[in-house]
């Protein structure tokens, strides 16, 4: 790793530490939760609209894998839909701030949302997925044919379920959250 890359990583870590401090998140959060800082994707590409009609983005390789997986599911009469994808650190901080402002304790927030800087969504490799007829971002998604299809087929497209029951990160079970672990051809997603 070059000196410049080291400096960029250190600057990103300092930036995240400042945000976490402001939000009341312990400085050793990542270590406590076995979570790594997630480099923020610098060149996300559009994957179309989510279920709320918002444009969504992923890292190019993840976008290609998502489109292929979505098409394969459709061949099996499974409609995979995006709830959310790439989120910058500042957006994640806004989610936490809104919850704090509504009176939710930081400990409770961190059970369902990763701290800014630690969300897999920053990398442009993570997707929250739903299917018609199921409430978004709810455990009931595990009862859907879409979830059964993902459990059987997602690994073919290099996606994995990030937060299964009893995960070591202290994050609530999220059957909707899937992470692409493939190798991207465009390695320009440095923080």
The pair of three-digit structure tokens given for residue 129, joined into one six-digit string? 């997925």
Q: Which range, of 3-17, 24-38, 72-86, averages the lowest pLDDT?
A: 3-17
Give phi and psi for 180, each to the nearest 5. Answer: -85, 120
Look at residues 106, 102, 132, 119 and name the one whose alpha carbon lies nearest to residue 163.
119
pLDDT, mean of residues 102-113: 95
Give the CATH number of domain 3-180; options: 3.30.960.10, 3.30.1380.10, 3.40.50.150, 3.40.50.2300.
3.30.1380.10
Quickly tell me which residue has 């202290």 as its tokens.
170
The model's confidence at residue 1, banded by pLDDT at 50, 70 and 90, is low
Extract the runs of DSSP E, i.e. beta strands, from the chain: 45-49, 55-58, 81-84, 126-130, 159-163, 174-180
Per-residue model confidence as pLDDT tens digits over 120-157: 999 999 999 999 999 999 999 999 999 999 999 999 99
pLDDT, mean of residues 54-82: 98
Q: What is the reported pLDDT for 2?
A: 77
Look at residues 37, 85, 88 and name the one whose alpha carbon lies nearest to residue 63.
85
Rounded-to-integer distance, Cα 123 and Cα 85, Å: 9
The pair of three-digit structure tokens given for residue 58, joined into one six-digit string? 């992923």
Domain boundaries, the chain: 3-180
The model's confidence at residue 5, banded by pLDDT at 50, 70 and 90, is confident
């Amino acid at each position: 790793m070059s000196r410049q890359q080291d400096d960029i990583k250190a600057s990103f870590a300092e930036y995240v530490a400042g945000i976490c401090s402001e939000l009341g998140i312990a400085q050793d959060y990542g270590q406590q939760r076995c979570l790594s800082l997630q480099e923020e994707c610098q060149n996300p590409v559009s994957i179309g609209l989510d279920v709320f009609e918002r444009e969504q983005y992923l890292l190019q390789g993840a976008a290609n894998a998502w489109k292929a997986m979505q098409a394969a599911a459709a061949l099996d009469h499974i409609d995979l839909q995006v709830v959310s994808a790439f989120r910058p650190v500042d957006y994640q901080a806004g989610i936490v701030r809104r919850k704090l402002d509504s009176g939710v304790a930081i400990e409770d927030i961190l059970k369902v949302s990763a701290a800014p800087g630690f969300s897999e969504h920053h990398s442009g490799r993570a997707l929250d997925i739903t299917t018609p007829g199921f409430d978004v971002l709810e455990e009931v998604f595990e009862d859907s044919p879409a979830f059964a299809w993902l459990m059987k087929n997602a690994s073919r497209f290099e996606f994995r379920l990030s937060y299964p029951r009893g995960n070591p990160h202290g994050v609530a079970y999220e059957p909707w959250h899937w992470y692409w672990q493939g190798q991207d051809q465009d390695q320009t997603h440095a923080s």
